[in-house]
Amino acid sequence: MTTEFYIGKKIEYYERRFGCLIRLFREHQTELLNKNSDKIEELIFKYKTFKKDIKYNPLLVGVVETFILDKN
């Protein structure tokens, strides 16, 4: 299984579970695969900002940060 396939499947799972915020991952998947640190920092900031507005706060943000940080 390729990294791209694995990331795509993981994104699909979280997108189904958590909705539109995870679509940001899909939009920036290439930058994440290439470990574009500016984009990764921007995504972490966006998720920390959005976490106030969603009922899954700690779980979603933890999943997102873990996923992004695992790729570094």
Contacts of 31 (CB under 8 A, 6+ apart): 39, 40
- Lookup result for tokens 């997108």: 15
| Contact by Cβ (8 Å): 11, 26 | yes
pTM: 0.32
pLDDT digits (tens, 9 = 90+) for 4-49: 666 667 666 666 666 655 666 666 666 666 666 676 677 666 666 6
Q: What's the pLDDT at 72?
A: 46
| Contact by Cβ (8 Å): 67, 25 | yes
DSSP assignment of 36-48: -HHHHHHHHHHHH
